[in-house]
Amino acid sequence: MAGETLGVIGTGRMGGPMAGRLLDAGYSLVIYDTQSEAMQPLLKRGAQQAKSPADVASRAEIVLASLPTPDIVKAVALGVDGISSGNKARIVVDLSTSGPGAAKLVAEGLKAKGMTLVDAPVSGGIKGAVNGTLAVMVSCPQTTYDTVQPILKNFGKLFYTGDQPGVAQTAKLANNLMAAAALVITSEAVAMGVKGGVNAKVLIDIINASSGRNSASEDKFPRAVLPGTFDFGFATGLSYKDVRLCIDEAEAMGVPMVCGAAVRQMLAITNAKFGAASDFTSIAKVVEEWAGVQMRG
Annotated active-site positions, please?
A: 172
Q: Helices 283-291 & 258-274, crossing angle to 10 degrees?
A: 90
Question: In which region does residue 164 sit, left (phi positive, over 0), alpha (psi from -120 to 50) or beta (all else)?
Answer: beta
User: How crowded is residue 69: how many other Cβ atoms within 10 Å of its Cβ?
Assistant: 17
Query: What CA–CA distance (Å, rounded) separates 105 from 221?
Result: 38
Name the nearest CA neighbour of 265 among 248, 245, 281, 243: 243
CA 291 to chain centre: 31
State which amino acid sits at residue 168: A
Residue 236 contacts residue 278 (beta carbons within 8 Å): yes
Burial class (CB in 10 A: 0-12, 13-18, 19+), 268: middle
Burial class (CB in 10 A: 0-12, 13-18, 19+), 85: middle
